[in-house]
Amino acid sequence: MTFPHLELAADPHDRVGERRTDEAWLAEAWAAPETRVLVVAGSRVRPVDDTVPWVPSTQAPGEGTRVLLGQRDGRVWFAQVVDASYAEGEGWVGIRDLLPHLSGAGVEQAPLVFHAIGLAEWLFATRFCPRCGGRLEPRLAGHEQQCVECHRRQFPRTDPAVIMAITHGEPGSPEEALLLGRQDIWPSGRYSTLAGFVEPGESLEDAVRREVAEETGVVVGEVTYFGNQPWPLPSSLMLGFRGRAASPDITVDGVEMQDARWFTRAAMREQTAAGELVLPGGVSISRSLVEDWYGGPLPGSW
């Protein structure tokens, strides 16, 4: 079974990190007619004709921070990160609304787009030194910033988050069920696998157990690794796990989670077909976790 979330990280570009300080090479690569640039305003992009709008460098704005993404398909790829005010008018979207444009033929561009928007978000949100409050200036083709006052260097951060398919019952039996939860702000019928951020000093497996217990009261025993997915919303790496519950008893916290339920395969099949249960989108690792457990594709998505 091919998991859609893995396609978003397939065929990665060569990040050519050794070229980030080579100003002559960067200038030559930027000027090359085959070079392509993604203009990012703040952390938003404006799709054109349902595609990601890569343009020649001659069509990129003269302002902003030039970010080297790397090489692929015989050309060099950049992002031009401009101020959020550049995104005037309709059509500018964040990464979540851009995801549908990265399915199908556009999926091969996902690693480049995630790289671009992840750095753009970091540059947009990180403008002052956390030590002295001095102004930060981008360096290394957008992959580092340095304080103009204390000269301390800052680097992009990635926040690890766990997302898990928690099951109870004899594996593969008709009684085996998958734990899904929902928040009140979600539309009716929308449920997802549980997820949460890893805390300092915590292992990934313990983060799975803690998050499930905090949100639903379910005690988890065995935890095994499933896969991962870059997720620049704004700067996460989603680490997927499978887990086995020691008991089916649920007590939702009422804060992060308003409802949680066990779904057997039969109930999931029936309710998704009827539109009563709406699962996460096909490109998400949550969807991959659900369909891996279910054993095949399911209808409907967010």
Separation between Cα atoms, residue 81 and residue 38, nearest integer Å: 8
User: Does 118 lie in the same domain as 20?
Assistant: yes
Separation between Cα atoms, residue 60 and residue 65, nearest integer Å: 11
User: Does 101 lie in the same domain as 228?
Assistant: no
User: Does 187 lie in the same domain as 110?
Assistant: no
* 213 domain residue, yes or no: yes
One-letter amino acid at 93 equals V
* 133 domain residue, yes or no: no
Last residue of a domain, one of 104, 125, 146: 125
At residue 28, the pLDDT reads 98
75-82 and 36-41 beta bridge pairing: parallel
- The CATH number that applies at residue 271 is 3.90.79.10
Separation between Cα atoms, residue 105 and residue 138, nearest integer Å: 33
One-letter amino acid at 288 equals S
User: Does 164 lie in the same domain as 121?
Assistant: no
User: Does 95 lie in the same domain as 12?
Assistant: yes
Give the pTM.
0.86
At residue 45, the pLDDT reads 93
- For tokens 């787009």, the residue is 113
Q: How many domains does the chain have?
A: 2
Burial of 189 (0-12, 13-18, 19+ CB in 10 A): middle
At residue 226, the pLDDT reads 96
At residue 2, the pLDDT reads 62
Per-residue pLDDT 10s for the chain (302 aa) are 667 677 777 778 999 999 999 999 999 999 999 999 999 999 899 998 888 899 999 999 999 999 999 999 999 999 999 999 998 888 999 887 887 777 665 678 889 999 999 999 999 989 999 999 999 999 999 999 999 999 999 999 899 999 999 999 999 999 999 999 999 899 999 999 999 999 999 999 999 999 999 999 999 999 999 999 888 777 889 999 999 999 999 999 888 899 999 999 999 999 999 999 999 987 789 999 999 999 999 988 77
Query: Where are any strands of DSSP class E within the chain?
Result: 36-41, 54-55, 65-72, 75-82, 136-139, 144-147, 153-154, 159-168, 177-182, 194-197, 220-231, 236-245, 259-264
In sequence order, what are the residues at sequence separation of 6 or more whose Cβ sits closer than 8 angstroms to the Cβ of residue 19? 25, 26, 29, 68, 141
At residue 102, the pLDDT reads 74
Burial of 84 (0-12, 13-18, 19+ CB in 10 A): middle
At residue 4, the pLDDT reads 67
Tokens of 271: 């309710």
Separation between Cα atoms, residue 238 and residue 199, nearest integer Å: 14
* 131 domain residue, yes or no: no
One-letter amino acid at 276 equals E
Q: Decide: helix, strand or coil at residue 74.
A: coil
* 163 domain residue, yes or no: yes
Question: Which H/E stretch holds residue 31?
Answer: helix 23-31
Last residue of a domain, one of 100, 125, 150: 125
* 137 domain residue, yes or no: no
Backbone phi and psi for residue 264, each to the nearest 5 degrees, phi listed first: -75, 170
Contacts 24+ apart (CB under 8 A), 122-131: 122/156, 122/157, 122/234, 122/235, 123/65, 123/67, 123/81, 124/42, 124/43, 124/81, 124/84, 125/234, 126/154, 129/154, 130/154
Last residue of a domain, one of 125, 141, 167: 125
User: Does 266 lie in the same domain as 165?
Assistant: yes
At residue 99, the pLDDT reads 76
Q: How many CB atoms lie within 10 A of CB 247?
A: 11
Q: What is the CA radius of gyration of the chain?
A: 22
Q: How many CB atoms lie within 10 A of CB 5?
A: 26
User: Does 189 lie in the same domain as 75?
Assistant: no
Backbone phi and psi for residue 37, each to the nearest 5 degrees, phi listed first: -130, 140
User: Does 270 lie in the same domain as 170?
Assistant: yes
User: Does 227 lie in the same domain as 290?
Assistant: yes
* 8 domain residue, yes or no: yes
User: Does 282 lie in the same domain as 180?
Assistant: yes
Please give the residue range of the domain that contains residue 121. Answer: 4-125
Tokens of 5: 């979330």
* 284 domain residue, yes or no: yes
User: Does 182 lie in the same domain as 273?
Assistant: yes
User: Does 176 lie in the same domain as 236?
Assistant: yes
* 145 domain residue, yes or no: no
220-231 and 236-245 beta bridge pairing: antiparallel
